[in-house]
């Protein structure tokens, strides 16, 4: 049976209702396809070398290396003594078995997926999401890697110019995970990312800061563009899925559902914790979902929507 992925021409995205019908139509059926998994690992390794290039390291960004910002036109940072000294030596990432990539979609609310998520060997989350008690059953609390957008540092923590306590306290929810920041993507993001690094290292924290490698972000952007994702910039979630596909035997994604209605046809909030809609980047997310769904149908990764119980 051909789903809408094949039936609808590329220039028209299915409506939210059509997506719901498609997803419900397939039901819970899912079968792992090792050939698909190997294929995507090879494709991603070839283009983007996720495990080694995901973050800047002393190895891939020695002193003098020019880091061209992936989100700016013609702007770069040349690695100097100061920046070199705060990079990790080499990639801290190892090949993994079961990975969970947790997006922030409202579909997670009342999903009861917390236990499933926490059972993965490696759990990745986006944008310092709340992991408080009220969400525990739905999203779990285990974290191995969490991304942080520099704008969060500016908006929520006063740019870390004043007290850093609120920031350091907030990060306790992520235990001893990696915190991943795009320090060399957009010009205004660099300083807050460096301040976040110092806030963490100057306090008794077990977190390890990883700075996103702009070459990796750019290459992953090209990879998905060639597959029909037409956006200025990919969503945070798709960068993490790309890392996971390059590094993990089994990838399950949760909280990826950028649509206005849930599987029951009722309105759904954008995030599991609020309903603040994103700005101009939003338009890419449905296209990204189409890609993820395609991978789900081919058994390459598993898209979990709906309830886990």
Kindly state the smallest distance separating residue 303's Cβ from ligand CDP, in Å. 10
Interaction between residue 236 and ligand CDP (CB under 6 A): yes
Residue among 61 and 217 whose Cβ is closer to ligand CDP: 217
Q: How many residues bind ligand CDP (CB under 6 A)?
A: 19
Residue among 79 and 253 whose Cβ is closer to ligand CDP: 253
278 neighbors 237 (Cβ within 8 angstroms): no
Kindly state the smallest distance separating residue 151's Cβ from ligand CDP, in Å. 9
Sign of the Cα torsion 157, 285, 251, 21 reads: positive
Per-position x/- string for 114-133, each x denoting binding to ligand CDP as judged by CB under 6 A, each - no binding: ------------xx------
Residue among 61 and 126 whose Cβ is closer to ligand CDP: 126
Kindly state the smallest distance separating residue 126's Cβ from ligand CDP, in Å. 3
Per-position x/- string for 131-150, each x denoting binding to ligand CDP as judged by CB under 6 A, each - no binding: ------------------x-
How many residues are present in the chain?
A: 309
Interaction between residue 105 and ligand CDP (CB under 6 A): yes
Following CA atoms 113, 114, 120, 125 in sequence, which dihedral angle do they give, to the nearest 10 degrees?
100
Residue among 87 and 223 whose Cβ is closer to ligand CDP: 223
Pull the structure tokens for residue 183. 């320090």
CA–CA distances in Å: residue 249 to residues 3, 96, 101, 198 = 26, 6, 13, 34
Q: Closest by alpha carbon to 236, among 244, 228, 226?
A: 244
Interaction between residue 237 and ligand CDP (CB under 6 A): yes
Question: How much helix, strand and coil, in percent to the nearest 5, is found in the chain?
Answer: 40, 15, 45
Residues in region 281-300 near ligand CDP by CB under 6 A: 285
Using DSSP, state whether 99 is helix, strand or coil: strand
- Candidates 103, 182, 221, 262: give the one binding ligand CDP (CB under 6 A): 103
Interaction between residue 238 and ligand CDP (CB under 6 A): yes
* Structural element, H or E, at residue 228: none
Using DSSP, state whether 18 is helix, strand or coil: helix
Q: Which residue is nearest to ligand CDP (CB)?
A: 237
From 52-60, 77-85, 215-223, 234-242, span contacting ligand CDP (CB under 6 A): 234-242
Residue among 105 and 189 whose Cβ is closer to ligand CDP: 105
Residue with tokens 């309105």: 267
- Give the span between the Cα atoms of 72 and 127, in whole angstroms: 21
Pull the structure tokens for residue 242. 């790309």
Binding site for ligand CDP (CB under 6 A): 103-106, 126-127, 149, 235-238, 255-258, 270-271, 278, 285
């Amino acid at each position: 049976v051909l789903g809408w992925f094949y039936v609808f021409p590329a220039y028209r995205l299915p409506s939210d209702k059509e997506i719901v019908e498609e997803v419900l139509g397939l039901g819970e059926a899912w079968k792992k396809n090792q050939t698909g998994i190997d294929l995507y690992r090879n494709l991603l390794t070839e283009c983007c070398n996720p495990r080694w290039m995901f973050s800047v390291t002393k190895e891939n960004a020695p002193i003098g290396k020019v880091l061209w910002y992936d989100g700016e036109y013609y702007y770069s940072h040349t690695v100097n003594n100061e920046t070199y000294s705060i990079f990790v030596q080499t990639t801290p990432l190892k090949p993994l078995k079961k990975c969970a990539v947790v997006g922030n979609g409202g579909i997670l609310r009342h999903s009861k997926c917390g236990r499933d998520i926490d059972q993965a060997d490696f759990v990745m989350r986006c944008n310092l999401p709340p992991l408080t008690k009220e969400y525990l059953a739905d999203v779990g609390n285990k974290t191995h890697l969490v991304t942080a957008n520099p704008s969060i540092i500016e908006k929520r923590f006063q740019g870390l110019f004043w007290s850093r306590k609120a920031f350091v306290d907030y990060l306790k929810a992520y235990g001893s995970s990696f915190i991943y920041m795009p320090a060399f993507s957009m010009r205004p993001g660099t300083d807050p990312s460096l301040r976040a690094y110092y806030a963490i290292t100057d306090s008794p924290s077990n977190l390890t800061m990883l700075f996103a490698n702009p070459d990796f972000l750019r290459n992953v952007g090209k990879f998905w563009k060639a597959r029909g994702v037409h956006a200025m910039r990919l969503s945070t979630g798709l960068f993490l899925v790309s890392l996971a596909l390059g590094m993990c035997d089994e990838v399950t994604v949760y909280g990826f559902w950028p649509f206005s209605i849930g599987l029951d046809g009722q309105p759904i909030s954008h995030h599991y914790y609020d309903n603040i809609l994103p700005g101009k980047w939003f338009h890419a997310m449905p296209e990204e979902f189409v890609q993820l769904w395609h991978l789900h149908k081919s058994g390459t990764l598993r898209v979990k929507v709906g309830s886990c119980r």
